[in-house]
Amino acid sequence: MQKTEMELLLAGYGLTTAEILYHMPDHRSLLQSFAWQEYDLAPNFPRLREFLDFWDRK
């Protein structure tokens, strides 16, 4: 069962926003931007790290 926004806030989560800049291997001169927003736990940001680790493996 997914937690509500209030449950996340009471558990210490905060709304985290990250701007991720990346380029595709075949278009190295074209820089793209992606905005990621999710409730996460500071200071370790496990959800953000999980997201970045997933794309780092690809």
- Residue 1 to residue 31: CA distance in whole angstroms: 38
Q: Kindly state the percentage of the chain with pLDDT values over 70.
A: 100
Residue 25 confidence class, pLDDT cut points 50, 70, 90 = confident
pTM: 0.79
Q: Where do the domains of the chain lie?
A: 5-57
Place of tokens 């937690």: 3
Q: Say which amino acid occupies 49.
A: R
51 neighbors 58 (Cβ within 8 angstroms): no
Per-residue model confidence (pLDDT) at position 46: 97
Residue 29 confidence class, pLDDT cut points 50, 70, 90 = very high
Q: Comparing 24 with 41, which gets the higher pLDDT? A: 41
